[in-house]
Structure 1
Amino acid sequence: MSSSSSLSPRVAAIWGANGISGTAMIDLLIEQSSNEWNHIICISRRPFQLDINDKRIDFISIDILNSTVDEIVNELEKVNGKMITDIFHYTYIEKSTEDELDQVNKIVLEKALDACVKIAGKTIKSFSLQTGYKYYGVHKTREDLAALPFSENAPRHQGTNFYFTQEDLLEDYVKKHNWRYIITRPATIIGVAKGNFMNFAVTIALYATIQKELGQPLLFPGNLKSWNRISDHSTASNNARFQLWSVLNENIQHEIFNIANGDLVTFRDLWSKIENYFGIPHCEQKLNENEAQLKLAEYMPKHKDVWIRIAQRENLDEKAFDYATWAFADGSLRSPLDRYGNLTKAREFGWTTIVDTFDGYAQCFDRLKKLKVIPS
């Protein structure tokens, strides 16, 4: 990750440090030389979740949404935030309506920007904002979905989209303060963060653990169309590597990039690999064209007693079951529409990495074992 642009040590500020993406960036930054990155400031609402002993890390636990900018600045001052050079922003708050999602996620980004301007406006070199494929309407109706493959310059759909608001806000600030900005739009993110289970890979791991215990097949919780749907995924560690690479690449000034693993997959291809990983015998899936053969939101709560039995026997985190978002997984498997991005722009700037998507899932499952979320 070294770069000729890193002539003096840099200071990172990671907003949303306890999430899947923030965790991946911390993992990557602590691998870098202290001559390149000599201070890593991590900001999140929850207390620090990572078991890391690195003297470069300072952690701030603060509720951004319910704090004033001055209160945030005060916390940054305590850890010498005036030396921040590079910001990585991953903060995200889930809400049930698009308007709420838009309002609340604009506030948390705006407060981060205001606090950074106040404490380190003159030393900041770059601001890296992660948005995602929701920019292309993947969470909306077929009419809202951008043309395939999703391109960074795709026209915006009608109506509200919180990623439109965030990207516009960042562009306005950067013009005023002469920073570089890099916006990355990943696909479905594969990664693990302690205590954060709004994640398809985690949900499938818990489902597979229970099916293995019951001696039952791993029925696909979707339909024939979603089984065959072509999509791409974005492994969190690969996203972080791209984001750090782009921050250190002086040829990249104010750019927006799709970032994905680079392979196109179907659940038809992935499913047997997931069965093999968990040691569950392969079964032929008898799928309906449109109706899901299994709904996790209905099926899993009926088997909570099985989870409690496994967790107590294996000394696992019992709360994982309550935090898992079965309906979120069902929703992500309901869409029959292909969804994948064009990576040409990243390639043109020199990014050549391709990551095997199932390897990303396997890394997640391995980490869940270390975190005592699933049996080892």
Structure 2
Amino acid sequence: MVNTVLIAGASGLVGTACVDRFLDDGWDVIALSRRQPEVFSTRPFRHIRADLRDAAAAREAARDLSAVTHVVYTALYEKPGLMPGWTERDQMDTNLAMLRNLLEPLTEVAAIRHLTLLQGTKAYGAHVHPMRIPGRESQPRDDHANFYWLQEDYAAEKSAAAGFDVTIMRPQLIVGPNHGVAMNLPPVIGAYAAICAEEGRPFAFPGGISTVWEAVDTRLVANAIRWAAEEPAAAGQHFNLTNGEVFEWRDMWPALAETLGVETGPGEPASMATFLPAKAGVWDRIVAKHGLRPITMDALLGESHHYADLAFAYGRTEPAPPTFVSTVKIKQAGFTEARDTEETFTYWLSVLQDRRILPPPR
């Protein structure tokens, strides 16, 4: 019997990658999202357009999903401005309601065997206080309000009643090709580079003090989720996910410039959250000049320009507390994939160029 996976939030970073990954393995895939996911696979899949904030719409969508055996839940609600919403209760409640709006009617019609949820380093309290280094899945739940805990507790209760397993992934700074999403840096970097070139300025790193990060390729996240779907060792577990190395933005910047066909050089720090929206007219000119897909600056960025300021340490004169996590646990469980982070960024920038979302290299 062919497995059927329902991927909620299928047009997002992880959701789209999971559509491709499960299709590659011959699964029947049902993608649920407000937008059609843009995938590489030529295999057919079913797309359901729905907003999970609407309980009635979610229930209607679930009526015809009795074949679903696995659920990958990647849907996310973020407020405009991004970071302030991370500590606001109504945003937490909305994210819980979205999960409940899907699982309640779905478990009435489908015999689900496995659910995957997404968390991140906010599980370790990194957004509200310095976290333990490295963050390990074995550490006690950090005592702060977080929609992760609301979703996790609901999923534990629901899985006990309905008899399915749950795996929770905690990826760190996910990198992929999606535009118009909450947290993805390649479209931000690419738009910034194109505007610098158009205005005759160097492609200078726009951030603050040197900061060391970890990141993870969305392909690796999708591969880990596919592994967990049928791996007994993954049932009931949390797993951190990274590419397996650290990086520093200024060290990587020349490789990004080469891929984008622009020149680096000295420059002043710039907030992507303010600089890019202010250059919307310049971006429109670039789109027309290069025959790009007619995507406005707002539609290109989503909320990712706010995330860029955080990642680039814009305005910081002292290093932020580190947010490194251990990935020993998932490796010991059997998933050992690693990736080159520089290649991750340059690959996805190239994909955005190939898709005519970013201009070709000069």
Q: Normalising by structure 2, report the TM-score.
A: 0.89
Q: Which moved more, 1:230-239 or 1:152-161?
A: 152-161
| Pairing partner for 1:327 from 306, 331, 339 | 306
Q: Quote how far apart the aligned CAs of 1:159 are.
A: 3.1
**Counterparts of 1:352 and 1:159 in 2: how far apart (Å)?**
31
Corresponding residue to 2:60 among 74, 84, 92: 74
Q: Deviations over 1:191-237 (max 9, x none)?
A: 1225436422211111011112223112222212xx2x222101111
Cα RMSD after superposing both structures: 2.1
3-state DSSP of counterpart to 1:127: strand
Pair 1:315–1:349, CA change in 2 (3 A)? same
Contact 1:307/1:318 (CA < 8 Å) preserved in 2? no
Q: Is the 8 A contact 2:206 2:312 kept in 1?
A: yes
How many residue pairs end up in the alignment? 346
Is 1:294 the counterpart of 2:270 in the alignment? yes
Contact 1:369 1:375 in 2 (8 A): yes
Relative to structure 1, the CA distance from residue 175 to residue 181 in structure 2 (aligned partners, 3 Å threshold; closer, same or farther) is same
2:283 matched to which residue of 1? Answer: 307
Q: What SS does the corresponding residue of 1:83 show, helix, strand or coil?
A: coil
| Equivalent of residue 46 in structure 1, options 18, 35, 44 | 35
Bigger drift between 193-202 and 100-109 goes to 193-202
In structure 1, distance between residues paired with 2:59 and 2:182: 30
1:301–1:246 CA distance, 2 compared to 1 (3 A): closer
Q: Structure 2 CA distance, aligned partners of 1:283 and 1:195?
A: 28
d(CA) in 2 for partners of 1:223, 1:233: 19
Contact 1:146 1:155 in 2 (8 A): no
Q: CA deviation at 1:51?
A: 7.7
1:73/1:119 contact within 8 Å kept: no
Partner Cα separation in structure 2 for residue 155 and residue 250 of structure 1: 23
| Structure 2 residue 328 is matched with structure 1 residue 344 | yes
Give the equivalent residue in structure 2 for 1:4.
Answer: none
Structure 2 residue aligned with 1:29, among 22, 38, 41?
22
Is residue 47 of structure 2 the alignment partner of residue 59 of structure 1? yes
**Of 194, 198, 201, which residue of structure 2 is paired with 1:216?**
201
For the 8 Å contact 2:59–2:101, the answer to whether it is kept is no
Aligned to 2:76: 92
> What stretches of structure 1 move > 4 A for 4+ residues in a row?
47-53
Distance in 2 (CA, whole Å) between partners of 1:363 and 1:27 is 16
Q: Identity of aligned pairs, percent? A: 25
Q: Does structure 2 conserve the Cα–Cα contact (< 8 Å) formed by 1:145 and 1:157?
A: no
Instruction: Decide whether the 8 Å contact of 2:124 with 2:131 is kept in 1.
Output: yes
Pick closer, same or farther for the CA change 1:280–1:194 going to 2, 3 Å: closer
8 Å contact 2:206–2:267 — kept in the other structure? Answer: no
**Structure 1 alignment gaps of length 5 or more:** 1-7, 287-292
Selected match of 2:191 from 181, 206, 213: 206
Tell me by how many angstroms 1:318 deviates.
Answer: 4.1
**Partner secondary structure for residue 298 of structure 1:** helix
Q: Shift of the alpha carbon at 1:74?
A: 3.4
Q: What are the within-5 Å matches in structure 2 for residues 72-221 of structure 1? A: 72-78=58-64, 81-95=65-79, 96-97=84-85, 98-120=88-110, 123-140=111-128, 144-193=129-178, 195-196=180-181, 198-221=183-206
Q: Choose 149-158 or 124-133, whichever is displaced more.
A: 149-158
Q: Which residue of 2 aligns with 1:289?
A: none
CA distance in 1, matches of 2:309, 2:138: 30
Flag the 1:301–1:114 CA change in 2: closer, same or farther, 3 A.
closer
Partners of 2:61 and 2:343 in 1: CA distance: 39
> Matched residues in 1 for 2:247 and 2:38: separation?
32
Evaluate the alpha carbon distance shift between residue 18 and residue 340 of structure 1 in structure 2; reply closer, same or farther with a 3 A threshold. Answer: same
The Cα of 1:249 is off from its aligned counterpart by 1.4
CA distance in 1, matches of 2:59, 2:273: 42
